[in-house]
Amino acid sequence: MTYLKIALPIFFSKPVVLRAFKVAIIVGIILAFINHGGLILSGNITAECWIKMIASSFVPYTVSSATATMNIMEQKTL
């Protein structure tokens, strides 16, 4: 069995997705304020800023999902 055949069902499993979504919301909000705090506070958010804020949330989502997947796979091999 290839690595991806094992990893992908874990990566997209409900527990991993739910945890990664929570992480993405929390870290995404923090990143949005770091990167666009002045615009957020002034109320001058453009469509481009919204797209960037949403896109930057994919990074913590992906990191959380990948880390959880690797951890679960490692626990199964022990």
pLDDT tens digits along 36-71: 999 999 999 999 999 999 999 999 999 999 999 999
Rounded to an integer, what is the distance from CA 74 to the centroid of its chain? 21
46 three-state secondary structure: coil
Predicted model pTM:
0.85
pLDDT at 3: 86
Q: What is the pLDDT of residues 1-38, one digit of tens each?
A: 688 899 999 999 999 999 999 999 999 999 999 999 99
Tell me which residue of 20, 28, 31, 25 sits closest to 64, measured CA to CA.
20
Is the pLDDT confidence value at 78 over 90? no
Cβ distance 25 to 56 under 8 Å?
Answer: no
pLDDT at 73 over 90: yes
